[in-house]
A and B are shown apart, each in its own frame.
Chain A
Amino acid sequence: MTDENLVRTPLYERHQQLGAKLIPFAGYEMPVQYTGIIAEHNAVRQQAGLFDLGHMGQVDVSGPQALDYLQRITTNDVSQLVPGQAHYSMLPNPQGGVIDDILIYRRPGGDGYMVVINASNHARDVAWMKQQEAALALNAGVRDISDETGMIAIQGPNAVAITKTLTSDPIESIPYYAWDKASVARVPVLIARTGYTGEDGFEIYPAIDQATTIWDALMAAGADKGLQPIGLGARDTLRLEARMPLYGQELSDTISPIEAGLGWAVKLDKGDFIGREHIAAIKEQGPKRKAVGFRTTERSGAPRTHYPVGVNGSPVGEVTSGAFSPTLGENIGLALIEAESAGVGKPLQVEIRGKWIDAEQIKMPFYKRPGA
């Protein structure tokens, strides 16, 4: 079953050569697994994994009024970013829901910003950002640079050591949520100490025509350190264990950042921004729904997105993401439930194939890497 309209990243041939199982994802033909989701998940936690992220989008925002513009259209405080620093944020809609979750990187020279957006929201985000630039009459220089920008992640306990063999730049000194220019495998890149796995490592941004060079160099450099290519299947189980949200599941147009437990990425005091009043009201009154983490306490299949969640047989919400956790060896999940039922230690049930399965609400993240 192929769809000729699917886009391929520059690394498509590599995925084919590695025997990847390819699936449609956000309009792209992407690897969901190579050897197996559990083996790949474990490789990232124990050694290192390499991810093709060519499907994600990048938007340059470097005009003279870039800062004012980004402050208005995002929830986090962009004025806090020093050159070379990054933060997690969201694009709110006027009703206080979320259009997308994003990373904003302030360029190392201080001259502008790069916003990284989800593949699934690429067209919508760019249209919204350009529309707001015009509506706010701010010269922000919004430019979609996805077609020029490659993106590859290397994550895991050996990720930094592997990457270090390909550069003489002090990349090991780049702090968490910072980035810098470097030369990796003699390719000029921006290299960021960010990721979506809960492990140490980098997200690397070469020019798009150098993506294959970076991939090949890392695969060779990592061969004796257990580096494996990692598909979207393990990407999902890794981020869930680290309690990282996935847009479309934990976040949506009708879920507030406050309900989603992401109020830490909302800075109401930074000044006015889209949806601010609605978000502030929910924060002040207390959200009616809350995101909670849980584990099942009796033997069952995995909890999955949209499965009903209840207390004493009465529905209180639904699962937003759930899976068998390879690292923990048990079923875990995130659910959005009525606030009165939320609380670590409180009971919960998940409906799996017509049966209420016992679960308990637990502290998050489900997994924290040693030393973090």
Chain B
Amino acid sequence: MSNPSDLKYTKTHEWVRLENGVATVGMTDYAQGELGDITYLELPDPGTSVSATEPFGVVESVKAASDIYAPVNGEVVETNEAAVGSPDVINSSPYEGAWLIKVKLDGDGGGALMSADEYATYLEEVAH
């Protein structure tokens, strides 16, 4: 699965779609592959403030638990309850089916985001 070119990426393997002052956030294909079968997802309530590089949620697989980091500053306006109910959607459809939260940007949102090409280069460095 290649990384969609219309998205931005973080070093902690989240993807972001920025549209009209709202960021949609999920986990990349690389992240779900590293974790393995995902069994549990914890997301913040709408109204929660998030800060770029700070954890906003937790994802668990059979073998590991991992924080999920906010790529931008803002306020959570929507969460993907379907993904919370069936977290394995993150494995099968990390970009389409498994968006996790939508964030109303605080200002321009901040955050150090990479393009798809930059993320691909970054992966070559980190993924042995």
Contact = CB atoms under 8 A, between A and B. Distances in A.
Given A1-B128, A324-B39, A324-B40, A301 B62 contact: no
Nearest to A36: B37
Interface residues of A, number: 17
Nearest to A304: B65
B58 interface: yes
A324 B62 contact: yes
A265 interface: no
Interface in B38-95: 39-40, 42, 58, 60, 62-63, 65, 88, 91
Contacts of A347: none
Nearest to A38: B37
Contacts of B97: none
A21 to B, nearest CB: 8
A36 B63 CA distance: 11
A302 interface: yes
Interface string A115-135: 000000000000000000000
A233 B58 contact: no
A233 B65 contact: no
A151 interface: no
B21 interface: no
Interface in A288-326: 300-302, 304, 323-324
Contact of B37 (A37, A301, A304): A37
A301 B58 contact: yes
A37 B65 contact: no
B40 A33 contact: no
B36 interface: yes
A302 B40 contact: yes
Task: Give chain B's interface residue range (CB within 8 Å of chain A).
Answer: 10 to 19
Interface in B76-120: 88, 91
Q: A1, A21, A38, A323 — which one has the most chain B CB atoms within 10 A of its CB?
A: A38
B58 A353 contact: yes
Interface in A4-28: 21
Contacts of A324: 39-40, 60, 62
A237 B62 contact: yes
A324 B65 CA distance: 12
Contact of A37 (B40, B42, B58, B63): B63
A38 B87 CA distance: 13
Contacts of A300: 40
A301 B63 contact: no
A323 B60 CA distance: 11
A304 B36 CA distance: 17
A171 interface: no
Contacts of B39: 38, 302, 324
A32 interface: yes
Interface string A234-246: 0001000000000
Contacts of A302: 39-40, 60, 62, 65
Interface of A: 1, 21, 32-33, 36-39, 233, 237, 300-302, 304, 323-324, 353
Given A233-B62, A302-B40, A323-B62, 8 more contacts: A36-B91, A37-B62, A237-B62, A301-B42, A302-B60, A324-B40, A324-B60, A324-B62
Interface of B: 36-37, 39-40, 42, 58, 60, 62-63, 65, 88, 91, 128
5 contacts: A1-B128, A36-B36, A38-B88, A233-B36, A301-B60
